[in-house]
Amino acid sequence: PHLVVMVGAELAASQRLKIFNGAALSSERAAAQMLNSSVAGRFAFVPPFMPGRRLVITTLDNLHIYTQKDSRIFKAGFNEDKKIYEHSYLRQEGYALGDGFMYAAMDENALTLKDA
């Protein structure tokens, strides 16, 4: 299957720091940057709003976002009292898995990061 690895920002940052501290030449740093885009030969990325030390393996097709009907509200305009332009986009959303057996995650509470 087309597995992807999702890495929490704190976990990704700790690994990047180790690699960059060990790279002396600019060519080694460029190689280190490319190295971080995969984990165990699988595409890896850092999604927003993911817990910092979580590591997840699944397929992108397995991840679902459901939005409640008629719950989207978009507001934009200039606030005269504050003298600023304000905008907001609110909605009721839920996240789900299509197949729970196609999802593996590491317990971030069991992980201890050591300084480089």
| Higher-scoring residue by pLDDT: 33, 112 | 112
State pTM to two decimals: 0.64
- Strands, E, within 16-114: which ranges? 38-39, 42-45, 55-59, 63-67, 73-79, 84-90, 93-97, 104-105
Which residues, in sequence order, are bridge partners of residue 6? 45, 56
13 pLDDT more than 90: no
75/89 Cα distance (integer angstroms): 7
116 pLDDT more than 60: no
Model confidence at 65, pLDDT cuts 50, 70, 90, reads very high
Residue 23: predicted pLDDT: 58
Residue 82: predicted pLDDT: 93
Domain range summary for the chain, segments of one domain joined by +: 3-66+96-110
DSSP class of residue 97?
A: E
Model confidence at 76, pLDDT cuts 50, 70, 90, reads very high
Mean pLDDT of 16-24: 62
Sign of CA dihedral 94, 99, 103, 109: positive
